[in-house]
Amino acid sequence: MFDNLRDSENDKQSFQEALGLGPTSSLQPELPPRPASRGLLGMSATQRLVIALLLLLAVSVLGTMCLLITGRISAF
């Protein structure tokens, strides 16, 4: 009775093939491909580094100017 069980299984259509899904398809829907990750604000890592350094420089200069104007520090 069980002698040709494997052979008989290979002859029949599988459940997925009967549904038209193919042997490698899954029953879960495929997600659309994600676009390439472009990072924060669409900039590369180098561009973000340059923006961060420019922001640091601007804050440092403005802070120093405010301290000089209010007399908290002196230039000489």
Which sequence spans correspond to the domains of the chain? 43-76
User: pTM of the prediction?
Assistant: 0.49
pLDDT at 32: 81
- Provide CB contacts within 8 A for 40, sequence distance 6+: 48
CB of 48 closer than 8 Å to CB of 40: yes
Over its C-alpha atoms, the chain yields an Rg (Å, rounded) of 33
User: How do residues 33-59 score in pLDDT, each as one tens digit?
Assistant: 776 666 778 889 999 999 999 999 999
In this predicted structure, the answer to whether residue 23 has a pLDDT above a threshold of 60 is: no
The pLDDT of residue 24? 54
